[in-house]
Structure 1
């Protein structure tokens, strides 16, 4: 499994990461555990998760999977929704308990999808106070944030950090062949991350399979495209062992896209990509968990 350096943290992570949402969907919890352990056994060490995924079930199943020596194989990440110091601290403690670990390698602010998020997170009694305290207490090692709505919100979050004398360790965002044409994270956020040596976590390489509905791209093409960018890891959802095997094969055989290949792929996806129809997370609330459940921003109740 090829590995890359996670920004200035110096950590080495697998080029492909296992998405947390999709490993909490199986009817049989044992199938979830099998997929997680299969990924770890085949060199995938980056595990994604979130406090709210599947009402906490994704973290619970991952916590079971990480027993029997598997925790040592994993670079474990989860995300929190709480925007207040108290709600974030309570959510973190719940995540630690579900994941059955004393420390989470990376904790990220989930869904920076509003213009108000930077001021709220960095404000008095805001989420950052909880994350800084947790890091000092040894509950987490690194701090990052995620977003999928608008690159401008993410640039504002990075700027807020700089203004407070803080540089995030990681940023997680959509990177795929359609993104380049509409509200592009690749064009507007990626250069800032590279400039400041912030770990780049690519997500939604297939947009939960929606990109494939266009008939313009294949799953290996989408994964290879994101891996060819200056990403540390490309996180992809794997709800079956077969889907995981496809991601593993793409990683094992990975060769960066040549300039001509990338230009051809972007030209092919441009007409459909410009409309944003295959990236509904940017222009609808379909993927906005905290918009549908605003209480998650201020409480630790699912």
Structure 2
């Protein structure tokens, strides 16, 4: 499952059935586009991460109004693109909107192709039906894959593990299998609407690449005063993840990610139970996972126009 590349501090894992080798830690794209992060620092973070062995780069069409992708594109100039496994996400649910957003992402990232494109924020039961409609977003991604604009297709979501399972079921009815799935995997998740308990076994069974996110939930988990950042990262690394994506907004936080990898040892069941016991009480209501229990993290809820129009055939069913 994992091993180190030559001259690298970073262990690598296989990305599901793609055969791709990706760094155990991935660099989150949202943070590098934040207003308080200087562009030169953002570029330095990305390039230092790549120089030291992090090859998985996360991003999204909607992060910081496109600034995250623009900065990532600048960082990946010269020799850096060839060393990176580049992922971004689109919000469009219609074929037309998905194609438009993908082309914008390619322009901002200044690349000919993106390694992995994911349907972003699959957080409603209707989302998979929309993307798999014949006028839906997945048709646009399949066409883009055939045209060489992308290599692999996945989906992400942070709301409810049952919606992830539903999406896998809907995909199967259309004869489609995702290459990757992204979801929250953290020390709180185990106790409330758990992706680790419900979705992870299914992904392992189907050999779909597992992308863990929100391992610290942008620092929110730490406010519970129950666990340290290193414990949070160790827990996520101990799961059968291909990549643990973590937000990095400073050279110190980048160093923390490498420290987590350097000190990581596979945990036995007793060690896992002991760590999860620390968070059991505070995690039971979902308070420290507001991406599950509120709409604050739902950018598509605040910008429904990003999704594009509902399928024509659905509109035609409506009474005049």
Greater Cα shift, 245-254 or 178-187: 245-254
Match of 1:9 in 2: 18
Structure 1 gap ranges (5+): none
What is the aligned partner in structure 1 of residue 177 from structure 2?
Answer: 167
Q: 1:194 aligns with which of 204, 210, 223?
A: 204
**C-alpha displacement of 1:251:** 1.3
Native 8 Å contact 2:37 2:249 kept in 1: no
> Deviations along 1:225-282, whole A, 9 cap, x unmatched?
0000000000000111111110011113321122221111111111111110000000
One of 288, 298, 313 as aligned partner of 1:288: 298
What TM-score results when the alignment is normalised by the length of structure 1? Answer: 0.98
1:77 aligns with 2:87: yes
1:295: how far off? 1.0
Does residue 103 (structure 1) correspond to residue 105 (structure 2)? The answer is no
2:165 aligned residue: 155
Given the alignment, which residue of 224, 242, 264 partners 1:232?
A: 242
- Note the 1:263-302 alignment, pairs <5 A: 263-298=273-308
Counterpart CA distance in 1 for 2:238 and 2:294 is: 28
| Alignment partner of 1:20 is 2:29 | yes
Q: Which residue of 1 is the match for residue 215 of structure 2? A: 205
Per-residue deviation, residues 175-234 of structure 1 (Å, max 9, x unmatched): 001000001000111011000000000000001100000000100000000000000000
RMSD across aligned C-alpha pairs, in angstroms? 0.9
SS class of match (1:208): helix
1:115 corresponds in structure 2 to: 125
Once residues 283 and 27 of structure 1 are traced to their aligned partners in structure 2, the CA distance between those partners, rounded to angstroms, is 28
Corresponding residue of 2:139:
129
Q: 1:41: Cα distance to partner?
A: 0.8
Separation (CA, whole Å) in 2 of partners of 1:222 and 1:265: 9
1:241 aligns with 251
Query: Could you list the per-position Cα deviations for residues 30-69 of structure 1 after superposition, in whole angstroms to 9, with x for gaps in the alignment?
Result: 1110111111011000000000000000000000000020
Q: Work out whether 1:56 is the aligned partner of 2:66.
A: yes
Match of 2:193? Answer: 183
Larger C-alpha radius of gyration, 1 or 2?
2
Q: Return 5+ residue gaps in structure 2 as ranges.
A: 1-9, 310-320
| SS in structure 1 at match of 2:196 | helix
- SS of 2:295 mapped into structure 1: coil
Looking at structure 2, the residues matched to 157 and 244 of structure 1 have their Cα atoms a distance apart, in angstroms, of: 33
Asked whether 1:36 is paired with 2:53, we answer no
Q: Secondary structure at the match of 2:79?
A: coil
RCO comparison, higher one (Cα < 8 Å, 6+):
1
What is the DSSP-based 3-state SS (H/G/I as helix, E as strand, rest coil) of the residue aligned with 2:219? Answer: coil
Q: Secondary structure at the match of 1:70?
A: helix
Would the aligned equivalents of 1:2 and 1:252 in 2 still touch at CA under 8 Å? no
